[in-house]
Amino acid sequence: MLFMADALSFESVTVDTITSFFNNTLEADVLRLDKISHVISGNKWFKLRYYLDEALNNQKKGILTFGGAWSNHIVATAAICREYGLKSIGIIRGEEPKQLSQTLQQAKEMEMELCFISRSDYQIKKIPESISTENWLVVNEGGYGETGAKGASSILDHCTKNYTHYCCAAGTGTMLAGIVNRISEEQQAIGISVMKNNTELESMTDKLVVAKKQNWRILHDYSFGGYAKHQPALLQFMNEFYRETGIPSDFVYTGKLFYAITDLVKQNYFPAGSRLLIIHSGGLQGNRSLPAGTLLF
């Protein structure tokens, strides 16, 4: 069997320079994790890799995890489990719709069992009594946990250059924590929250940060209305960014990230001489929910 770690195109990951996009006011590179795979895109493999090891080593039946209708994590988990001969269950937020999203359709095609629960039950991550979890590895939404953060720290194996600032979008804080755990105390990590008023994000991230480092912060001013929400200004920026750099983004995560960094540069947020690494965490499949022709890519 060709295992997924071998099938993924890690050699296609590039570090693209976008210094000119910022009028050469500082150095900026983008780590293109979106190039790894169309399905297991961006940071998903990294956050799941050690959960997968755990499931296989402990002879679990499969992985049970959580997500929404357009969750990158859900479809990536379904793909990875199928490739490794494991079963998968997705606990999906909200009532089952008459028409599944393209993401959930894809997950179902990859043999994931979908189980829809109410938003109130989802908030407490309640697993239906009809599902016995004894032989399943339960993985939090977005791969949140020390195991997910450990995997996320290996993202920087694909970029050996040193930077003053490491920037990423933040949903659960798992990737951000992994990056913080990998960089030195002299380097800074910045997470752009994609959720509105996610006041728990700092504490969630801090729980995963080793040695209680203080060289990181989360900015909450770029949610554009909340998770998976967008406004015309964001979509317009995404098209402009693509036109200038050739780099596609998604409106849930990376579009907000690139917009935020651009705005921060305009505000002179970064000291002179800063060197930025902006991590493209993939997730482009979420754009399929937009009307055709909305984006240039």
User: Residue 4: pLDDT band by 50, 70, 90 thresholds?
Assistant: low
What's the Rg (C-alpha) of the chain?
19
In one-letter notation, the amino acid at residue 73 is: H
User: Residue 273: pLDDT band by 50, 70, 90 thresholds?
Assistant: very high
Q: What is the Cα–Cα distance from 171 to 144, expressed in whole angstroms?
A: 10
Average pLDDT over residues 255-270: 98
What does the pLDDT look like over 176-218, one tens digit per residue? 999 999 999 999 999 999 999 999 999 999 999 998 899 999 9
Average pLDDT in the chain: 95
What does the pLDDT look like over 146-168, one tens digit per residue? 999 999 999 999 998 999 999 99
Confidence (pLDDT) at 2:
39
Write the CA distances from 219 to 134, 194, 226, integer angstroms.
39, 9, 13
Confidence (pLDDT) at 54:
98
Output the six-digit token pair for 102.
């393209």
In the chain, where the domains are located: 4-38+153-289, 44-143
Q: Is the pLDDT of residue 5 over 90?
A: no
Q: For the structural domain made of 44-143, what CATH number should be given?
A: 3.40.50.1100
Are 145 and 66 within 8 A, CB to CB?
A: no
Write the CA distances from 157 to 29, 73, 194, integer angstroms.
15, 21, 25
Q: Does 44-143 match 4-38+153-289 at the fold level?
A: yes
User: Residue 290: pLDDT band by 50, 70, 90 thresholds?
Assistant: very high
Percent of the chain with pLDDT over 90: 91
User: How far out from the chain centre does Cα 281 lie?
Assistant: 5
Q: Is the pLDDT of residue 239 over 90?
A: yes
Assign domain 4-38+153-289 one CATH number from 3.40.50.300, 3.30.70.20, 1.10.300.10, 3.40.50.1100. Answer: 3.40.50.1100
pTM for the model stands at 0.94
Confidence (pLDDT) at 7:
60
Give the number of other Cβ atoms within 10 Å of residue 269's Cβ: 14
What does the pLDDT look like over 72-126, one tens digit per residue? 999 999 999 999 999 999 999 999 999 999 999 999 999 999 999 999 999 999 9
